[in-house]
Amino acid sequence: MKTPNMLDAKKRNQNDIKYVKYNKEFDKFGNGKKFFVRTYGCQMNEHDSEKIKGMLKSVDFSEGTSVDDADIVILNTCAIRENAHDKVFGFLGVLKHLKQSKPDLLIGLCGCMAQEEVVVNDILNKYKYVDFVCGTHNLDNMLSIIKNKIDTDKRQIEVLSYEGDVVEGVPVVRDSKYSAWIDIIYGCDKFCTYCIVPYTRGTQRSRKHEDIVEEVKKLVSDGYKEVTLLGQNVNAYGKDLYKDYDLSNLLSDVSDTGIERIRFVTSHPWDFTDKMIDVIASRDNIMPYIHLPLQSGSNKILKLMNRKYTSEEYLKLYNSIREKVADSSVTTDIIVGFPGETEEDFLETLNLVEECKFDGAFTFAYSPRENTPAALMKDAIPEEVKMDRLHRLNEVVNKYSNLRNQKLLGTTVKCLVIGESEKDKNKVCGYTENMKLVNIEGPKSLIGNIVSVKITDTKSFSLDGEYIKE
Ligand code: SAH
Ligand code: SF4
Ligand code: F3S
């Protein structure tokens, strides 16, 4: 049994990181049994789930349609806010009942919550029906963990609190045939004071650029239209590995593969260079969409958050992106109710949002995370004040999303059609170059293609359009 330790998770041991190939050999011990993976959290977790599915299928497990027909259920969890925790523990409650009627059901937990001491202690003491726990740093070892559980019938808890290796070639089964996630950098060294990610995902580790470009080339030959480069802070790409190769170089090299669409998330404003903006602006296949988390418009709060930029610096970068990258859209993340946030601080955030007129924003009420510096800060903001600010912020955010969307009315845009529309099964849906969701009047045969669409109506969170034959 290996359990997590938050103090160890804080340490940074850059020198020990090894680059290795996935070379695990197993008998096909899945025997066709069915698995169900439920994913919480960010795109990196979505992609990790694709690797979990890939590993399971490689030993002859098959994907079930729901928890009810599954022999093994895996929860790939997120620890970013308290409500992410609550959802997972709620679902574990449901699984407890299921296991009473199906005693052979295997239940596993992995992802960021698995890296938290408090969570693993709770699982050890109170959730005895959870059969295995696997951390983020040893995800590639999940099959051994499951096999040990099956062979010995003993609970398996294996969580490392130091960075794992960068493992290439983990089997992957992608959810989409057109658009693919690609990890480019793991972990985070920013230590924003509110955030648990540097503890759950460890130090920054970039993949080698050759491996990334190879992966993209393979996807192009498999018919993929789009790749999204993933990292907690993609703009730090290469810093841990190279002297003179950064995200701008990687974007150019990925662009040269000829893949039709390239996206990347998330960009920390601190590491965004002019060179990066220039590459984004000059390449047609790099999409003009940037997610640029602001967090707060108050310099006092930004400092307490350890974000390392001022609101003035943010605005300068923001304007430079808007000026240089034609028809770009920019979205952001904002936290309200950080400890010590006064009404004046909050009004500074509102002012900056008024000034930037973002295409969209993910807005959050601050949620204290165990062992992070902000959790120990004085002047916690009462829940009702946080909710009031969140509500006021959302009104302004929605006003500008609407306005930005309205500007597209009557224009013709390119969309990558990804599937049936969720709102109306007779329509399809897709994304514009600048990441707007469009519900499209058009045949199902458009799915998987980049097509022209005329925008006929706009809402806060989506657009309506009709397919234009060329
Ligand atoms: N690496 C990304 C963010 C990943 S987490 C970045 O730095 O841009 C996604 C968002 O969750 C963050 O941008 C932040 O707005 C929010 N968040 C993180 N920790 C939080 C907390 N403790 N309480 C509330 N929101 C939080
Ligand atoms: Fe968290 Fe900050 Fe790292 Fe983003 S940059 S993952 S908010 S510590
Ligand atoms: Fe959540 Fe971990 Fe992603 S905490 S947001 S799943 S890196």
Residue 333 CA: which ligand is closest? 1
- Ligand 2 contact via 76 beta carbon (within 6 Å): no
**Pair of tokens at residue 5:** 């330790």
* Gap from CA of 52 to ligand 1 centroid (Å): 25
CA-195 nearest atom, ligand 1 = 19
Q: Per the confidence metrics, is the pTM higher than 0.95?
A: yes
147 touches 106 (CB < 8 A): no
For a mutational test of ligand 2's pocket, the pick from 192, 306, 369, i.e. the residue with the most ligand atoms closer than 8 A to its C-beta, is: 192
- Ligand 3 contact via 78 beta carbon (within 6 Å): yes
* Gap from CA of 389 to ligand 2 centroid (Å): 22
36 touches 152 (CB < 8 A): no
Secondary structure class of 69 (helix, strand, coil): helix
Cα dist from 274 to 180, 226, 278, 327, whole Å:
27, 24, 6, 18
CA distance 429 to 447: 8
CA-232 nearest atom, ligand 2 = 6
Supply the pLDDT for residue 15.
64
For a mutational test of ligand 2's pocket, the pick from 42, 268, 314, 334, i.e. the residue with the most ligand atoms closer than 8 A to its C-beta, is: 268
∠321-331-237 over CA atoms, to 5°? 65
- Ligand 2 contact via 192 beta carbon (within 6 Å): yes
* Gap from CA of 92 to ligand 3 centroid (Å): 19
CA distance 400 to 402: 5
- Ligand 3 contact via 46 beta carbon (within 6 Å): no
Nearest to 136 by CA among 202, 219, 235: 202
- Ligand 3 contact via 47 beta carbon (within 6 Å): no
* Gap from CA of 195 to ligand 1 centroid (Å): 6
Ranges under pLDDT 50 in the chain: none
Distance of CA 373 to the CA centre of its chain: 23
126 touches 92 (CB < 8 A): no
The set of residues, in sequence order, having a beta carbon less than 8 Å from that of 95 and lying 6+ positions away, is 67, 73, 105, 107, 129
- Ligand 3 contact via 79 beta carbon (within 6 Å): yes
**Pair of tokens at residue 103:** 């005693």
* Gap from CA of 410 to ligand 2 centroid (Å): 39
255 touches 212 (CB < 8 A): no
Residue 75 CA: which ligand is closest? 3
CA distance 220 to 212: 13
User: Which residue CA neighbors atom 3 of ligand 3 most closely?
Assistant: 42
Buried b or exposed e, range 361-383, using 16+ CB within 10 angstroms: bebbbbbebeebebeeeeebbee
Supply the pLDDT for residue 4.
87
**Pair of tokens at residue 161:** 């609190």
Nearest to 332 by CA among 301, 359, 365: 359
* Alpha-helix residue ranges (DSSP H) falling in 135-243: 142-152, 197-201, 209-221
CA distance 127 to 249: 47
